[in-house]
Amino acid sequence: MGETPSISTNIHASVVALGSQRGALIKGASGSGKSLLALRLMAYGAQLVADDRVDLCVEAGQLIATAPPQITGRIEAREVGLLHAEPLPRARIILCVNLDEIETQRLPEQRKDRVLGVELPLVLRVQHGHLDVAILQWLKGGRWA
């Protein structure tokens, strides 16, 4: 029997996590605020996995994120420069954030995204300045059904 081929890709996104098992994949176009959201979450205690580019693979049905070696431990602060951050080597992704779409519902349905065949809860950009703390709490405790 041969090995099961691993599925992997590199995408334009950022990842922060609360430990190796509770990571958020932050997607969006250039300038959408991925690094800003990551920096805000880091200010609350999340750890940087990768900023701007992230390597993703599937292991045992779980989506795993790592940083490409050339950008490990670096995060961009727009109009400030590249900052050093002690990186978390890898994290399991449990949540996807899409900054390209705006949430229009006060209590939205449970949205989903699929990345490399792994289904993840999805949160869209909110307009009231609380996305960072809401994502932090999601990583800590999940979402009430």
Rounded CA gap, 83 and 137, in Å? 25
Domain segments of the chain as ranges: 9-138
Q: What are the residues whose beta carbons fall under 8 Å from the beta carbon of 36, sequence distance 6 or more?
A: 78
Q: Does domain 9-138 have CATH number 3.40.50.300?
A: yes
pLDDT averaged over every residue in the chain = 94
For 20-76, how does the pLDDT look when each residue is reduced to its tens digit (9 = 90+)?
999 999 999 999 999 999 999 999 999 999 999 999 999 999 999 999 999 999 999
- Given a cut of 90, whether residue 7 has pLDDT beyond it is no
